Structure 1
Amino acid sequence: MLQQKLVDLKSEMKLEQLELEYRGAGAGSRVAAYRAELQRVRDEYRSVLSNSATYNIETEDTYDDWNVNEQRQKLLDNTERLERSGKNLNEGYRVILETEEIGAAVLQDLSVQRETIQRSRGRLRETDEQLNRSSRLMNSMIVRALQDRFALVMVLLITGALLCAALYFYVT
Structure 2
Amino acid sequence: MSEVFEGYERQYCELSANLSKKCTSASLLDGEQKKQKVTEIKVGLDEAESLIRKMDLEARSLQPNVKAVLLAKLREYKSDLNNLKAEVKRITSTSLNPSARDDLLESGMADALTVSADQRGRLLMSTERLNKSSDRVRESRRTMLETEELGVSILQDLHQQRQSLLHANNTLHGVDDNVGRSKKILTNMSRRMSRNKWIIGGIIAVLVIAIALILYFKLAK
- Residues 34 and 76 (structure 1), Cα distance of their counterparts in 2 relative to 1, 3 Å cut: same
Of Structure 1 and Structure 2, which has the larger fraction of its residues in helix? 2
Question: What is the root-mean-square deviation of aligned Cα atoms in Å?
Answer: 4.5
Q: Which runs of 5+ in 1 are unaligned?
A: 50-58
- The answer to whether structure 1 residue 145 and structure 2 residue 182 are counterparts is yes
- Counterpart of 1:98 (choices 122, 129, 135) is 135
Q: Distance in 2 between matches of 1:85 and 1:7?
A: 19
Aligned to 2:64: 29
When Rg is computed on C-alpha atoms for both structures, the one with the higher figure is 2
Q: Deviations over 1:66-98 (max 9, x none)?
A: x76653553354234213312212203422442
- TM-score scaled by structure 2? 0.47
User: Any unmatched runs of 5+ in structure 2?
Assistant: 1-18, 21-44, 84-89, 92-99, 213-221
Query: Could you say which structure has the greater relative contact order, defined with CA pairs below 8 angstroms and 6 or more residues apart?
Result: 2
Q: Give percent identity, aligned residues only.
A: 7
- Give, as a single letter, the amino acid of the residue that structure 2 aligns with 1:106: T
Q: Which residue identity lines up with residue 191 of structure 2 in the other structure?
A: M
| Paired AA for residue 56 in structure 2 | L
Partner of 1:55 in structure 2?
none
1:35-77 deviations in Å (ceiling 9; x for gaps): 653576589x59xx9xxxxxxxxx99xxx9xx76653553354
**Alignment CA distance shift 1:83-1:38 (3 Å):** closer
Matched, 1:83 2:120: yes
Q: After alignment, is 153-162 or 32-41 more displaced?
A: 32-41
The TM-score with structure 1 as length reference comes to 0.56
The equivalent residue for 2:4 is none
1:157 to 188, 191, 194: 194
